[in-house]
Amino acid sequence: MAELGDEQTDALAKACAEAMWREDEASRHLGMVIDDVAPGKATLSMTVLEIMTNGHGTCHGGYIFTLADSAFAFACNGENVRSVAQHCSITYIAPARQGDRLIAEARETAKFGRNGIYDVSVRTSDGGLIAEMRGHSRTVGGTIIPAGDNKS
């Protein structure tokens, strides 16, 4: 890809996120919101609903993972190169409860060949650390936005 300025790369990341968001039924259905997106970075949030709680009365880990995974997806697709998760691992640090607003912040830590590594922190709105996820991405060919639609 040709070298782009900061404004152009930010605009491209936002355009990729908008295109992906239109097709992302799962994230939208869970009430997630894209708070911020930039090349190699994304922040998404959601509120823990009653239907997301488990037998311990805390947020089911699968929902926390899904939020982290969605932030990871938007972070690794911001350069308009279609990427998917190759491997992810998560460490749960503290429970989240019904009504908590969870914020997942994903950031690229390494990129090499067709691979990328991203760290995702999930926190409550007051800053409490809930989980840390590491995701490994793999480019699979193709783009998010067709070349003619790229306005950046």
Measured between alpha carbons, how far is 55 from 40 in angstroms, rounded to an integer? 36
**Angle, helices 61-76/6-23, rounded to nearest 10 degrees:** 140
Measured between alpha carbons, how far is 75 from 83 in angstroms, rounded to an integer? 10
- Domain total of the chain: 1
- CATH code, domain with 113: 3.10.129.10
8 A C-beta contact, residue 60 and residue 85: no
Query: Would you say residue 33 lies in a domain?
Result: yes
pTM of the model: 0.92
Query: Would you say residue 148 lies in a domain?
Result: no
Query: Would you say residue 1 lies in a domain?
Result: no
Query: Would you say residue 58 lies in a domain?
Result: yes
Query: Would you say residue 152 lies in a domain?
Result: no
Give every CB contact of residue 132 below 8 A, 6+ residues apart in sequence.
Answer: 90, 91, 93, 119, 120, 121, 122
Query: Would you say residue 151 lies in a domain?
Result: no
Domain of residue 67, residue span: 6-142
Tens of each residue's pLDDT in the chain, 152 residues: 344 568 899 999 999 999 999 999 999 999 999 999 999 999 999 999 999 999 999 999 999 999 999 999 999 999 999 999 999 999 999 999 999 999 999 999 999 999 999 999 999 999 999 999 999 999 999 999 986 555 44
